[in-house]
Amino acid sequence: MTVLRSVIDISVLDQFWMVVPRWLPSLPCLFFAICFLQSGLDKVFDRAGNLEWLVPHFAKTPFKSMVPIMLRALTALELTTGLVCAIGVFQPLLGLYFLRTLSLALACLTLCALFAGQRISKDYAGAGTLAIYFAVALIGLESTSRYAEQWSVLPNH
């Protein structure tokens, strides 16, 4: 065991465990950056296919005539959320300690918009799937806010 300790530089391991907690809260941001950028870009590049799926989906709702407008709004919301989440991944490098919290709060808002659409269209299975994403966002938001408190540069009030 002492031979192994002499081979492994303990200071390297210590440095590793000091860096990991700073980057760990970036994982929910990375998750939602991938999710929302892919979904938003799909809505941009395959608008016709998305409309083809959404129009019948909302056919029996009060929003049936608003599907193209809702698709534009959702596309903008998803792309914005994905971009802010992607930037939030690099918060430790940028020093913008509010960015992860903002990005995950925006992810919660976007998921609520998607959830509302699923419920209105009576796609309860789809709404149930979004609840899992929402749980991930809330857990990420909690861990991010704890991290922000720990590393905050703002004075305590």
Other beta carbons less than 10 A from residue 88's beta carbon: 28
Residue 157 has pLDDT above 50, yes or no: no
Q: What is the mean pLDDT of residues 71-84?
A: 98
Note the pLDDT of residue 118: 94
Average pLDDT over residues 4-11: 54
Query: What is the spatial distance between Cα 113 and Cα 91, in angstroms, rounded to a whole number?
Result: 26
Phi, psi dihedrals of residue 92, rounded to the nearest 5° = -60, -30
Rounded Cα–Cα distance for residues 46 and 152 (Å): 42
What are the structure tokens assigned to 51, written together?
Answer: 């409309």
3-class DSSP string for 97-147: CCHHHHHHHHHHHHHHHHHHHHHHCCCHHHHHHHHHHHHHHHHHHHHHHHH
Say yes or no to pLDDT of 154 above 60: no
pTM: 0.80
Give the chain's mean pLDDT.
85
Structure tokens at 100: 């992860």
Residue 21, amino acid: P
Q: How many CB atoms lie within 10 A of CB 84?
A: 21
CA atoms within 13 A on the CB side of 122: 6
